[in-house]
Amino acid sequence: MKYEDFQRIEERAFYALFALFGVVVLLGAGAWHYMEEHGHVVTGMSNQVVWGIPHVFAIFLIVAASGVLNVASIGSVFGKTLYKARAPLSGMLALAMLGGGLAVLMLDLGRSDRIIIASTYFNPTSVFAWNVILYSGFFGIVAAYLVSMMAPRMKAYSKYIGLAAFIWRVILTTGTGSIFGFLVARQAYDSALLAPMFIVMSFSYGLAVFILVQSTMYSWNGLMLDAAIRRRMKNLLAIFVSAVLYFTLVYHMTNLYFAKQTDFERFILLDGGIYTSLFWFGQVIVGSLIPLAILFHPQLSSRCSAVVVASVLIIFGAFCQLYVFIIGAQAFPLNLFPGMEATSSFFDGRMPHPYTPSLPEVLLGLGGIGVAGLITMVAVRAFQFMPRDDYDQTVKAEIAPE
């Protein structure tokens, strides 16, 4: 479609997309109501797999939210000018996605009518309780950050608030990784590696989402992102994806070394059925190796569409990774008696614990994405989030071709 044709229907297209997100949100709300009314028996979750697809969506949105703020941090904290222009968009996306992710998480609670209790009763040893503070604080700090970047009088403060936002979000993502890392009970978790791994995952997912949204905005407005800027961003994305692959490698290598973890690794890497497929095919091949091939390819990587495809594949790989990480870890039964086979009426020893995502869960998860989408659409319409790269000397020098 030529841009001139699109321009004519642009307003209608905007409202159509808005309505689409709105429908997704309504379906999610309906799914939540259904789950609330009948209890979680209507979902695929059970006493064996207690966190399901909604948590996959929620953790993705939350991790990507803190990662997408990274773009702004590179600008404010590390002083890279070409990222400074992108900082408001990245801040807004961070808020939108965190909002969506938290909505899913809170609506999946068994007693979602008691959400306020999470604020009035506080257990200081619980990561979830820390998260109540960290996530609320994130909203506040990023909002202040946005104001400091976009209001003329506050510009002087943006560097300091940006630094605060960066430090806060590192703590936040460490907390998200520690949700799992602190669990000594499960063979898939119980590792200090998970906190830094989540930080690196956030870099990768966040930048992929950012590139996707940025490209969409540019083509919506009939603009083309400067090739040099595109090259810088895709190189950064490739580095992040490689880092995630590295952490995954170290995680599995270490586990393979421990005799007590062999059964678990065999499950994930070899005969875990869907989980093995999602790991190798979803996360490693489609989610990491193919995007890396695209991003490092000399000719292919210079094309905008190729980079967008790579971003989409990375996001797909992210979902696969989180599905294996959250659900696969629960599908592997707890080993209370090493060296023995266990059976019980409570499904001890059953390999694997079955789990099938149900429609209400998927709709609830998608509803979170819908919330993020709605917020983004309203924000980009009301405010000037389109990155504006002025080609003054500083920027030109910075992005000079290597």
Partner 1 sequence: MSNMDKTQKDAGSGRQFTRRQFVGAGVAAAAGLAIAPGVTLLDLAHARPADQAADGAKRWGMLVDTNLCKNGCTDCVAACGKENGFASTGHPETDPQWIRKIELKEIKSGRTHSLPMMCQHCATPPCVDVCPTGASFKRADGIVLVDRHICIGCRYCMMACPYKARSFVHEEHHDQNPDVPRGKGCVEGCTMCVQRVDRDLLPACVEACKAAGHEAMLFGDLNDPNSEISKRVATYASTQVRADLNLNTGIRYRGI
Partner 2 sequence: MSNPASFLNWQIALNWRIALNWLGAACAALLLFGVAISGAGADEGKHQIDAKGDKCVRDTEYMRRNHMVLLKHQRDDTMRKGIRTTQYSLKNCVDCHASPKNNSVIGSNDNFCQGCHSYVAVKLDCFECHSSKPKDTAHPLQAGQMQAGAMVTAPPGTSSDEGRK
Task: Provide the binding-site residues for partner 1, judged by CB under 8 A.
Answer: 38-41, 45-48, 50-51, 109-112, 114-115, 117-118, 121-123, 125-129, 131-132, 179, 182-186, 330, 334, 336-337, 339-349, 354
In whole angstroms, what is the distance from residue 276 CA to residue 313 CA? 18
Closest C-alpha to 126, from 187, 183, 66: 183
The listed partner (partner 1, partner 2, none) that binds 400, CB under 5 to 8 Å by sort, is: none
Single out the residue of 44, 54, 75, 88 in contact with partner 2 (rule: CB under 8 A): 88
DSSP 297-308: -TTGGGSHHHHH
Single out the residue of 78, 122, 128, 383 in contact with partner 2 (rule: CB under 8 A): 383
Q: Which helix (H) or strand (E) holds 134?
A: helix 127-150
The distance of closest approach from Cβ of residue 306 to partner 1 in the complex, given in angstroms and rounded to an integer, is 40
- Cβ burial of 321 (10 Å; 0-12, 13-18, 19+) is buried
Single out the residue of 13, 133, 151, 223 in contact with partner 2 (rule: CB under 8 A): 151
346 binds partner 2 (CB under 8 A): no
Question: Backbone phi, then psi, for 9, in 5-degree steps?
Answer: -100, 10
The distance of closest approach from Cβ of residue 388 to partner 2 in the complex, given in angstroms and rounded to an integer, is 5
Segment contacting partner 2 by CB under 8 A, of 53-61, 248-256, 293-301, 384-392: 384-392
382 binds partner 2 (CB under 8 A): yes
Sign, CA torsion 189/190/192/193: negative
85 binds partner 2 (CB under 8 A): yes
384 binds partner 2 (CB under 8 A): yes
The distance of closest approach from Cβ of residue 36 to partner 1 in the complex, given in angstroms and rounded to an integer, is 8
Contact 206, 60 (CB under 8 A): no
The two most distant CA atoms of the chain are separated, in Å, by 72
122 binds partner 2 (CB under 8 A): no
Single out the residue of 55, 80, 84, 234 in contact with partner 2 (rule: CB under 8 A): 84
For residue 372, which amino acid is it? Answer: A
The listed partner (partner 2, partner 1, none) that binds 393, CB under 5 to 8 Å by sort, is: none
4 binds partner 2 (CB under 8 A): no
15 binds partner 2 (CB under 8 A): no
The listed partner (partner 1, partner 2, none) that binds 88, CB under 5 to 8 Å by sort, is: partner 2
Q: Is 338 helix (H, G, I), strand (E, B) or coil?
A: coil
In whole angstroms, what is the distance from residue 88 CA to residue 81 CA? 13
Single out the residue of 152, 298, 339, 401 in contact with partner 2 (rule: CB under 8 A): 152
402 binds partner 2 (CB under 8 A): no
Q: Is 210 helix (H, G, I), strand (E, B) or coil?
A: helix
In whole angstroms, what is the distance from residue 49 CA to residue 37 CA? 21
Dihedral angle of Cα 144, 145, 150, 151, to the nearest 10 degrees: 40
155 binds partner 2 (CB under 8 A): yes
The distance of closest approach from Cβ of residue 334 to partner 1 in the complex, given in angstroms and rounded to an integer, is 5
For partner 1, the closer CB: 127 or 244: 127
The listed partner (partner 1, partner 2, none) that binds 290, CB under 5 to 8 Å by sort, is: none
What is the CA angle 361-138-112, rounded to 5?
35
- Cβ burial of 316 (10 Å; 0-12, 13-18, 19+) is middle
In whole angstroms, what is the distance from residue 71 CA to residue 171 CA? 17
Site residues for partner 2 per CB under 8 A: 84-85, 88, 113, 149-152, 155, 381-384, 387-388, 390, 392
